Amino acid sequence: MSELRELYQSVIMDHNKQPRNFGSPANANHHAKGNNPLCGDQLSVHVFLEDGVVKDVGFEGQGCAISKASASLMTEAVKGRTQEEAEKIFEAFHELVTSDPREEPVIGDLGKLAVFGGVREFPMRVKCATLCWHTLRSALVDGGVVSTE
Ligand code: ZN
């Protein structure tokens, strides 16, 4: 378990310092804003969706290291995926971060996102880690503003 914790910390630090896909793709056609008042995280997610495929995705905003790293990793995970695939990744991710920390984490096809299994030990941080995903879903569906409260 301490191995996972170390990996978790190094991945979060890396993506917090150098967020991937930061900013809005020039041709983005779906947008949403997300708010996590509990922590103060504020994110915007911008998607270029074409033929049901996330052709490009970026995010902007400010927040804690976990919210930023999660958004950064999310953009890498969903770029090039269909809307349904992105939804499935979100479901698996949500399942992972809200599962019982005493049980073996279910990683499935989460790839790098699996490091967020470390969030399970910090329930206050689950909303930080999932904020970008709720915002992405909102952007893909109808846009607008989502709040974790
Ligand atoms: Zn946060």
pLDDT at 33: 97
Q: Ligand 1 centroid to 53 CA: how many Å?
A: 29
Q: Ligand 1 centroid to 90 CA: how many Å?
A: 18
Which residues form the domain of 103?
Answer: 2-147
How many structural domains compose the chain? 1
Whether the pLDDT of residue 1 is over 70: the answer is no
Helical H segments across the chain, by residue range: 2-17, 65-78, 83-97, 126-141
Q: What span, in angstroms and rounded, lies between the C-alpha atoms of 132 and 74?
A: 8
Q: Ligand 1 centroid to 50 CA: how many Å?
A: 31
Give the CATH number, domain containing residue 104.
3.90.1010.10
Q: What is the 8-class DSSP label of residue 46?
A: E
Q: Ligand 1 centroid to 62 CA: how many Å?
A: 9
Q: What is the 8-class DSSP label of residue 104?
A: P
Q: What is the mean pLDDT of residues 23-40?
A: 96
Please give the model's pTM, rounded to 2 decimal places. Answer: 0.93
Q: CA torsion, points 118, 135, 85, 111, in degrees to nearest 10?
A: -20
Model confidence band, residue 143 (pLDDT cutoffs 50, 70, 90): confident
96-118 pLDDT, tens per residue? 999 998 998 888 889 989 989 98
44-87 pLDDT, tens per residue? 999 999 999 999 999 999 999 999 999 999 999 999 999 999 99
Q: Ligand 1 centroid to 25 CA: how many Å?
A: 24
Q: Which residue has the tokens 């399942």?
A: 95
Q: Ligand 1 centroid to 70 CA: how many Å?
A: 10
Longest CA–CA span in the chain (Å) reads 44
